[in-house]
């Protein structure tokens, strides 16, 4: 997407301690992550799928393999990295690519990062634990978002921010939205207010480049 604004220029990437979740910009590797976990292999979450780049310099995990980067390992089950327990949670987003969210725990706090999202896969929804923070998909502000079905009736796309607030509010007191669609850039300050206005029992916020959250 060509739309950008001050503090809203980068593709997806969330650094938790020294573990990076999504790699939308090659410059994120300059942060020196100990490992990278990808939610899916669209280029705005994995830059190397559309840019020439040699072998990734850190252990990298994804929901599926990528032909030109055999060093990318398929994530199965939980992993321990840098004092964090990282648990993949299968999600629905694309009709062409597998996707997952990640639960991240350090023994004190628990967060979830989803990347782009229609929903958590049905068999995992009722098994989600309570969380201290959710970081999720802000592509559409309208109810329902934009969700289509492929020829086999499988949904793909992005659900709406209000729907995600309703889903995650019982699970977390704080929800941060990132990965904004073109609607956000028509009036950035107004869009931030619209997101914050969805707060009820959970605090709802808009992310920005370089945002730091202390747990």
Set out the domains of the chain in order of their start, with CATH numbers: 14-206 (3.60.15.10)
Query: Which residue, among 55, 68, 71, 63, has the nearest Cα to 22 in the 3D structure?
Result: 63
For residues 126-135, give the mean pLDDT: 97
Residue 1, pLDDT score = 62
Residue 97, pLDDT score = 95
Token pair, residue 139, equals: 């592509």
Q: Are 14 and 31 within 8 A, CB to CB? A: no
In angstroms, how far apart are the furthest CA atoms of the chain? Answer: 46
Q: Are 36 and 61 within 8 A, CB to CB? A: yes
Tell me: pLDDT of 186 over 80. Answer: yes
Say what the alpha-carbon torsion angle 185, 189, 190, 196 is, to the nearest 10 degrees: 110
| Chain segment 95-117, per-residue pLDDT in tens | 999 999 999 999 999 999 999 99
Residue 138, pLDDT score = 97
| Chain segment 26-83, per-residue pLDDT in tens | 999 999 999 999 999 999 999 999 999 999 999 999 999 999 999 999 999 999 999 9
CA distance 146 to 129: 27
Token pair, residue 169, equals: 């509010």
CA distance 177 to 164: 10
| Chain segment 5-32, per-residue pLDDT in tens | 999 999 999 999 999 999 999 999 999 9
Residue 4, pLDDT score = 81
CA distance 51 to 69: 12
Residue 3, pLDDT score = 75
Q: Which residues contact residue 121 at a Cβ distance below 8 angstroms, ignoring those fewer than 6 apart?
A: 89, 90, 91, 92
Residue 208, pLDDT score = 97
Q: Are 102 and 21 within 8 A, CB to CB? A: yes
pTM: 0.96
| Chain segment 166-175, per-residue pLDDT in tens | 999 999 999 9
* Average pLDDT for the chain: 96
């Amino acid at each position: 997407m060509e739309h950008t604004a001050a503090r809203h220029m980068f593709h997806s990437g969330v650094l938790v301690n020294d573990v990076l979740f999504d790699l939308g910009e090659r410059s994120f590797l300059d942060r020196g992550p100990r490992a990278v976990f990808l939610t899916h292999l669209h280029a705005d979450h994995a830059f190397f799928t559309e840019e020439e780049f040699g072998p990734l310099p850190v252990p990298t995990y994804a929901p599926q393999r990528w032909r030109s980067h055999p060093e990318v390992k398929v994530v199965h089950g939980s992993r321990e990295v840098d004092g964090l327990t990282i648990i993949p949670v299968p999600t629905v987003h694309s009709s062409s690519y597998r996707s997952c969210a990640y639960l991240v725990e350090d023994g004190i706090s628990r967060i979830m990062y989803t990347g782009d999202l229609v929903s958590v896969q049905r068999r995992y929804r009722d098994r989600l634990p309570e969380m201290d923070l959710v970081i999720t998909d802000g592509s559409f502000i309208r109810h329902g978002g934009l969700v289509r079905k492929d020829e086999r009736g499988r949904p793909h796309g992005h659900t709406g921010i209000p729907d995600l607030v309703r889903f995650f509010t019982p699970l977390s007191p704080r929800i941060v939205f990132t990965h904004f669609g073109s609607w956000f850039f028509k009036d950035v300050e107004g869009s931030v207010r619209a997101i914050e206005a969805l707060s009820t029992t959970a605090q709802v916020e808009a992310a920005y480049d370089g945002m730091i959250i202390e747990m």
